[in-house]
């Protein structure tokens, strides 16, 4: 195996560093701040600091603590891990105000330089560089304060040129042309802050829908993680050419080739569907060997790693979720995207651009590719890794569990011990920037393959590898797993939404049986707790899945039960939604009003001809004869519900039982297209039924 040093030039680097200037003695203390930031940045890049940072200034007489090159936390040690973790939390919880879009106009350039110096000391190079580039954009565009810009612009350019200088990296290459970067042991904050959910809602308000906040809550809580051993991560995703060599030598058939084909999103059907012709070497776009391979399942990725391990006589595998997320952050303690916290631009990554509902700043962004891009088409992150945030999503080794972060160990978290789905990380060419964040967690069945999902590999470091190191650790941070799911209390509201998310993912990927099992188990728990809020929600969701499976009778039964329960708790909005679903399912959509009798109840409630009565006393799907029978049965009832459809709007009223004073007629609905019965559909491969470990 060949080991080389990465000496590639840094993009956008100035032709020469600009010197710091100080023409006023009153600025000396401020200049010291900049020199500190400059010197520490040099230190982190692995350059000698003997002459530069021996002392801060003659005025304060404080010596700089020169730590080892690489990212580290100030004043933290293995003997005091709690202090180290508190430092990480403090740094992760303080993203730049400019990135959050708050108060950037009121912060002086000098204050921003000071803050960037603190970030550099903490090892947060991505955010420090982002702040320096923000100052340059302000000054060069004329938006910044002219006096401050004229005073500090040269200094900022000098500091930015140092931050642009690529650090010394160890890159290894193997016999199939794959390059891997050495990732040092380290620690970072994994997951997301709670306020990240609100940032997503405010930033992407045009595409935000009810439930999206809970959709991303499996990223919580933010928690410290320590990776104790170095490893090598693929600089890019596995390419088509590399996967072609694997297939040629082994004759491997992918899950897509053995099954119904890879999954694509059908705009006509509005869902993910398999296509028999879609496989790793047959895609909707013109394929090339330097593109990332797609339409490969988790099982296929594992087979590739086993082949490569035998071929290279080294241990290759998929990264764990923790390893992947640390690599995505590029050495920063916590950062939203590999380049910082700001939204992506045209030169940052390959994502689903062109959507007019994206934030205004993104509607005109063109990343240059309609589908996948050749690997390495965009700038690398702090570890020299490409496309961690876009191009294609990537399989990782872990099972998916929505609650795993509550019990995961601090050191080298391996992921849950069991589950039904495997995790995938990172954004892709088809995704919104919400999915391109380092913390985003997706998951799919291990046999599934998609047009926007690939993988990259990790190689374990041998003891003989030059420069190997192991992070110093304190007492073991391994935590005991919580009691089994059987002894857990019934789910809370938050857990209910997480459960919904998992079931919806399963349904989206056509794992119908697993989705039904998950929701039926949840329904039993909620019924045992007599939860009036969640029982109808789960029933309604189950009804929708049964309707998708063409089990209309079971679906109508559950919808009707949930309709009555929603009305009992006064949730009229949900009741209207359920009525609309029942209206779609019924063979008869109701009865049409053709005449309203003067002085009757119908006139009093302002019923009009052409209104459609779709529900009476909780019953739906009736014709004229059965509707008349219903009215007779409830003639002595004090109150009954009556739902009308007019101009596609549903209105529900509470009226006394008895004659309405209307003449009605049947409605002839054309037969709606149905899915083929289950026995006629192609048999699905058996899928594991075991559920993810619960907290």
Would you say domain 591-666 falls under CATH 2.30.42.10?
yes
User: What's residue 118's pLDDT?
Assistant: 64
- CB-CB contact of 49 with 39 (8 Å): yes
Stretch 277-295: mean pLDDT, rounded?
95
Stretch 306-314: mean pLDDT, rounded?
95
User: What's residue 617's pLDDT?
Assistant: 84
Look over the chain and give the mean of its residue pLDDT values, rounded to a whole number.
Answer: 74
Whose structure tokens read 């291990």? 446
Paired sense of beta strands 453-454 and 612-616, if any: unpaired
Most confidently modeled range among 131-135, 311-315, 465-469? 311-315
User: What's residue 80's pLDDT?
Assistant: 38
Asked whether residue 659 carries a pLDDT value surpassing 70, the answer given is yes
Asked whether residue 321 carries a pLDDT value surpassing 90, the answer given is yes
More confident residue, 401 or 559: 401
Paired sense of beta strands 591-596 and 619-620, if any: unpaired
More confident residue, 671 or 459: 459
User: What's residue 304's pLDDT?
Assistant: 97
313 Ramachandran zone, left/alpha/beta (phi>0; psi -120 to 50): left
More confident residue, 370 or 113: 370
Stretch 474-498: mean pLDDT, rounded?
42
467 Ramachandran zone, left/alpha/beta (phi>0; psi -120 to 50): left
User: What's residue 35's pLDDT?
Assistant: 46
The whole-angstrom separation of Cα 394 and Cα 223 is: 22
Backbone angles phi, psi at 190, to 5 degrees: -105, 145
User: What's residue 230's pLDDT?
Assistant: 95
User: What's residue 180's pLDDT?
Assistant: 96
| Tens digit of each residue's pLDDT (9 = 90 or more) over 396-426 | 999 999 999 988 999 999 999 999 999 999 9
Asked whether residue 3 carries a pLDDT value surpassing 80, the answer given is no
Structure tokens at 153: 């612009």
Stretch 621-649: mean pLDDT, rounded?
83
More confident residue, 553 or 283: 283
Candidates 232, 389, 395; CA nearest to 303 is: 395
Confidence of residue 41 (pLDDT cuts 50, 70, 90): very low
The topology (CATH level 3) of 179-460 is 3.90.1580
Among 28-32, 225-229, 549-553, the range scoring the smallest mean pLDDT is 28-32
Confidence of residue 614 (pLDDT cuts 50, 70, 90): confident
Helix (H) or strand (E) holding 626: helix 624-633
User: What's residue 315's pLDDT?
Assistant: 94
Among 156-170, 187-201, 536-550, 560-574, the range scoring the smallest mean pLDDT is 156-170
User: What's residue 22's pLDDT?
Assistant: 32
Question: Percent of the chain having pLDDT more than 70?
Answer: 69
| Tens digit of each residue's pLDDT (9 = 90 or more) over 133-192 | 788 777 777 777 777 777 777 777 776 666 665 566 789 999 999 999 999 999 888 999
User: What's residue 457's pLDDT?
Assistant: 97
Three-state secondary-structure class, residue 467? coil
């Amino acid at each position: 195996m060949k080991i080389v040093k990465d000496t590639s030039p840094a993009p956008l680097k100035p032709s020469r560093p600009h010197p710091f200037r100080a023409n006023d003695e009153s600025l000396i203390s401020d200049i010291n701040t900049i020199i500190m930031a400059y010197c520490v940045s040099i230190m982190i890049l692995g350059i000698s600091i003997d002459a530069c940072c021996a002392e801060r200034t003659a005025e304060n007489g404080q010596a700089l603590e020169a730590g080892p090159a690489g990212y580290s936390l100030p004043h933290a040690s293995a003997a005091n891990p709690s202090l180290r973790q508190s430092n990480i939390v403090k740094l992760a919880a303080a993203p730049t105000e400019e990135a959050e879009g708050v108060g950037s106009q009121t912060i002086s350039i000098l204050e921003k330089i000071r803050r960037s110096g603190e970030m550099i000391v903490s090892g947060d190079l991505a955010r420090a560089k982002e702040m320096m580039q923000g100052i340059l954009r302000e000054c060069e565009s004329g938006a910044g304060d002219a006096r401050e810009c004229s005073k500090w612009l040269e200094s900022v350019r000098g500091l930015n040129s140092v931050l642009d200088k690529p650090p010394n990296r160890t890159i290894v290459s193997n016999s199939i042309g794959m390059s891997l970067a050495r990732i040092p042991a380290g620690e970072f904050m994994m997951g997301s802050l709670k306020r990240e959910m609100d940032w997503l809602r405010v930033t992407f308000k045009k595409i935000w829908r009810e439930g999206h906040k809970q959709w991303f809550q499996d990223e919580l809580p933010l928690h410290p993680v320590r990776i104790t051993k170095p490893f090598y991560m693929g600089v890019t995703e596995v390419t088509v050419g590399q996967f072609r060599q694997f297939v040629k030598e082994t004759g491997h058939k992918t899950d897509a080739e053995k099954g119904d084909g890879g999954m694509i999103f059908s705009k006509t059907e509005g869902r993910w569907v398999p296509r028999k012709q879609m496989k790793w070497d047959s895609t909707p776009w013109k394929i090339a060997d330097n593109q990332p391979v797609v339409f490969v399942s988790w099982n296929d990725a594992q087979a590739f790693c086993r082949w490569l391990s035998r071929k290279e006589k080294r241990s290759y595998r998929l990264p764990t979720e923790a390893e992947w997320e640390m690599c995505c952050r590029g050495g920063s303690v916590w950062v939203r995207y590999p380049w910082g916290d700001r939204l992506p631009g045209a030169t940052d990554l390959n994502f689903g651009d062109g959507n007019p509902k994206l934030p205004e700043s993104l509607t005109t962004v063109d990343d240059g590719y309609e589908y996948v891009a050749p690997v390495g088409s965009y700038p690398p992150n702090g570890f020299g890794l490409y496309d961690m945030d876009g191009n294609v999503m990537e399989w990782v080794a872990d099972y998916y569990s929505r609650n795993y972060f509550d019990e995961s160990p601090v050191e080298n978290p391996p992921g849950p011990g069991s589950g039904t789905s495997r995790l995938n990380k990172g954004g892709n060419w088809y995704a919104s920037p919400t999915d391109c964040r380092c913390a985003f967690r997706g998951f799919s069945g291990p046999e599934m393959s998609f047009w926007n999902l690939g993988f990259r590999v990790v190689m374990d470091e041998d003891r003989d590898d030059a420069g190997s190191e192991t992070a110093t650790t304190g007492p073991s941070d391994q935590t005991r797993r919580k009691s089994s799911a059987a002894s857990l209390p019934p789910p809370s509201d938050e857990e209910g939404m997480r459960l919904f998310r998992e079931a919806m993912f399963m349904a989206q990927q056509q794992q119908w049986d697993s989705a039904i099992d998950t929701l039926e188990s949840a329904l039993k728990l909620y019924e045992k707790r007599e939860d009036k809020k969640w029982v109808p929600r789960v029933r309604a969701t189950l009804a929708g899945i049964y309707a998708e499976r063409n089990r209309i009778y079971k679906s109508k039964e559950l919808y009707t039960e949930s309709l009555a329960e929603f009305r009992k708790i006064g949730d009229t909005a949900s009741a209207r939604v359920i009525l609309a679903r029942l209206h779609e399912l019924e063979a008869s959509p109701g009865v049409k009003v053709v005449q309203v009798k003067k002085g009757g109840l119908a006139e009093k409630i302002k019923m009009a001809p052409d209104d459609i009565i779709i529900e009476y006393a909780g019953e739906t799907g009736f014709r004229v004869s059965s509707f008349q029978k219903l009215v007779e049965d409830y003639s002595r009832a004090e109150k009954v519900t009556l739902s009308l459809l007019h101009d596609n709007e549903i209105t529900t009223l509470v009226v006394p039982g008895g004659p309405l004073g209307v003449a009605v007629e049947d409605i002839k609905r054309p037969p709606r297209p149905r899915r083929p019965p289950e026995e006629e559909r192609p048999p699905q491969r058996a899928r594991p039924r075991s559920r993810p470990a619960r907290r």
